[in-house]
Amino acid sequence: ADLSHRFTFENRGAAGGKIPLGLKRKGLRIVVTGGAGFVGSHLVDRLIARGDSVIVVDNFFTGRKENVMHHFGNPRFELIRHDVVEPLLLEVDQIYHLACPASPVHYKFNPTNVVGTLNMLGLAKRVGARFLLTSTSEVYGDPLEHPQVETYWGNVNPIGVRSCYDEGKRTAETLTMDYHRGAGVEVRIARIFNTYGPRMCIDDGRVVSNFVAQALRKEPLTVYGDGKQTRSFQYVSDLVEGLMRLMEGEHVGPFNLGNPGEFTMLELAQVVQETIDPNAKIEFRPNTEDDPHKRKPDITRAKELLGWEPVIPLRKGLPLMVTDFRQRIFGDHKEGLA
């Protein structure tokens, strides 16, 4: 790709013009929407460590200042409280668009996925920035193909209780491709499968955070339905690596980013028992409507074109998350800094 339109933060003023990124790469100016959230804050850590200048745009809907607080005072870090549903004017080289009410408790009736994505694409178009959308495996709905390949169009109920999220992300993908084809915006699309790790919301109702918090609090693990539905769980650092490779690479995607290791919810409960408390009880609850029965990524495309695959299996990643949850639930003073 022609990178000559991108120029570095440091030398822009000094040199008074655009300097192509050559051998010696200096920091880029990067916006991370949703950067105070779970995935976003880990991404920000990596970008800052790499030497980039990062602007986090977040309305703290589910994100927390604590997740990025350790960067306060760093001149290459900036935090803006802003709802991406409102227009935003910035000058940047790359946009990682993660802002999204991501959990079932929060995503209902929210226009972020459509209006927020439109605004960030408008921003990318205006300043010539590269735009990466974090879409989701939920675009496959309750899939009729297993595992899911990127070429599968999905099986989504347009009027169900989950539709705001699924269809919102599908629309976001459509907008992204329209801006790519119609306005020449450089875009990247990631379809993220279930991801877990430190800084995950404790009470947003996702299965891994629920089970871990329940086991730590000596409450029964709540298995919805018969517990035979499957998911694939990816550790957050694997995802962040995939997102960065996608952004820097030459391919639009969409790319599945997930860990192909597939577990039933009962198996997950068992891993949580082994990791935290072998005596933790299991309690069955009715399942939510339209719950996908199976989900597992086919990551052949990401392996071949991005040279990426996850390296942290569930049994290795879960203990890292437990350490963080233990600190946050039982409150010593390291909240959010895991």
Residues with catalytic roles: 165
Decide: 52 and 75 in contact? Cβ < 8 Å: no
Distance CA 238, CA 18 (A): 33
Query: Which residue lies nearer to ligand UDP by CB, 152 or 224?
Result: 224
Min separation Cβ 189 and ligand NAD, Å:
12
What separation, in Å, do the N-terminal and C-terminal C-alpha atoms of the chain show? 36
DSSP codes, 23-63: SS--PPEEEEETTTSHHHHHHHHHHHHHT-EEEEEE--SS-
Coil, strand or helix at 255: strand
Residue 197 binds to ligand NAD (criterion: CB under 6 A):
no
Reduced 3-state DSSP string for 135-152 = EEHHHHECCCCCCECCCC
Number of residues that bind ligand UDP (CB under 6 A): 23
Q: Specify the residue, 8 or 210, whose C-beta has the smaller distance to ligand UDP.
A: 210
The DSSP output letter for 297 is: B
State the binding partner of 30 from ligand UDP, ligand NAD, none, CB within 5 to 8 A by kind. Answer: none
100 binds ligand NAD, rule: CB under 6 A = yes
- Compute φ and ψ for 230, nearest 5 degrees: -115, 155
Q: From ligand UDP, ligand NAD, none, which one binds at residue 77 (CB under 5 to 8 Å depending on kind)?
A: none
262, containing H or E segment = strand 262-264
Span interacting with ligand UDP, options 21-29, 64-72, 81-89, 244-252, rule CB under 6 A: 81-89
Q: Which of 8, 27, 48, 61 touches ligand NAD by CB under 6 A? A: 61
Closest CA to 120 of 197, 71, 41, 179: 179
| Angular region, 193: left φ>0, alpha ψ -120 to 50, beta rest | beta
Please identify which residue in 192, 200, 265, 322 interacts with ligand UDP, judged by CB under 6 A: 265
Q: Which residues contact 251 (CB under 8 A, 6 or more apart)?
A: 188, 305, 306
Of 233, 226, 256, nearest to 243 by C-alpha is 256
What is the per-residue binding string for ligand UDP in 234-263, x denoting contact by CB under 6 A? ------------------------------
Binding mask 115-154 for ligand UDP (x = CB under 6 A): ---xx--xx-xx----------------------------
195 scored as a contact of ligand UDP (CB under 6 A): no
Which residue's CB comes closest to ligand UDP?
Answer: 122
Query: For binding to ligand NAD (CB under 6 A), which residues are involved?
Result: 33-34, 36-40, 57-63, 83-85, 98-102, 112, 116, 134, 136, 192, 194-195, 201
Query: For binding to ligand UDP (CB under 6 A), which residues are involved?
Result: 87-89, 104, 118-119, 122-123, 125-126, 194, 206-207, 210, 222-224, 229, 231, 265, 287-288, 291
